[in-house]
Amino acid sequence: MRPIDIVWVGLGGGVGSVLRLWIGRVVGERYHGDFPLGTFLINVSGALLIGYLSVLFEVDWRDRYGAALNSGVLTGLLGGYTTFSSMQLGAAQLAAKKESVVAVFYLLLSVVVGILAAGLGASIARAQG
Amino acid sequence: MIKILVAVFVGGAVGAILRELFMLNVPNPADLFPLDILAANLVASFLLGFATALHSRKAVSDGVNSLMGTGIAGGLSTFSSFAYGVAVLATASAMGALVAAAYVVVSLMMGYAAVVAGLMLGTKH
């Protein structure tokens, strides 16, 4: 881990977070339901991309730091773009509005579709390879 | 708007670097349970709940909320590494599938508890 890799992680994290803010707002302007659609779409698309790019970059998923590409794109950009905390906050806010069923559905759907998306991304990259 | 963008960019950068430090310093158990990502996600969930509660009672400005919540907590937490970690573990071995299942259940339940604890701590009683 070199100091320059920390810079890549920070840059990627900053850009990914602004991207998350922007996509969240674009979705929020068009969809006005209770389901946290913006965060859901962000997380699923980020999971698909990390699966695809991890195989493409040929890195072991536990050891994705070191190279600038891995630090900047996987740890920084995709880590900053996707969010686990907003998913949990969205579920807590649904539960506070007496929509506990939707909250549980949201968490389970995010996790199941997210894991499938990550696996699909990896499969696409392997099929290309 | 520019102020919010700068706050989210700076916060997201700080959060992602903090997550990298978790990845470098949290020891991973022999069963490959992703303790580093879990720890980052739990701390971030608590921080987001806390910032959101402070902001909703106007104890902090929009800018501070964007920096702490959308930025630092959002950058520190990650769904992509969580989902990909589960996908890799689950397809590795029977033991891996068990660890993956435990990782999902613990992440969801403790993450929810962390955000609720943050919301409660930030709410004036």
Domain ranges in chain B? 2-122
B117 touches chain A (CB under 8 A): no
- pLDDT 10s digits, A62-81: 555 457 788 999 999 999 99
Residues of B whose CB is below 8 A from A92: 49, 112, 115-116, 119
Whether ipTM > 0.90 holds is yes
- pLDDT 10s digits, B59-95: 999 999 999 999 999 999 999 999 999 999 999 999 9
Interface contact B85-A61, CB threshold 8 A: yes
Interface contact B80-A78, CB threshold 8 A: yes
Cβ partners under 8 Å of residue A111, min gap 6: B83, B86, B104, B108
CB A36 within 8 A of CB B27: no
Residues of B whose CB is below 8 A from A105: none
Q: Which of B79, B36, B98, B115 is nearest to A111 (CA)?
A: B79
Q: How far is CA B30 from CA A30, A114, B6, B34, B95, in A?
A: 46, 25, 40, 10, 12
Interface contact B83-A114, CB threshold 8 A: yes
Domain of residue A114: give its range: 3-128
Q: Is the pTM of this model over 0.80?
A: yes
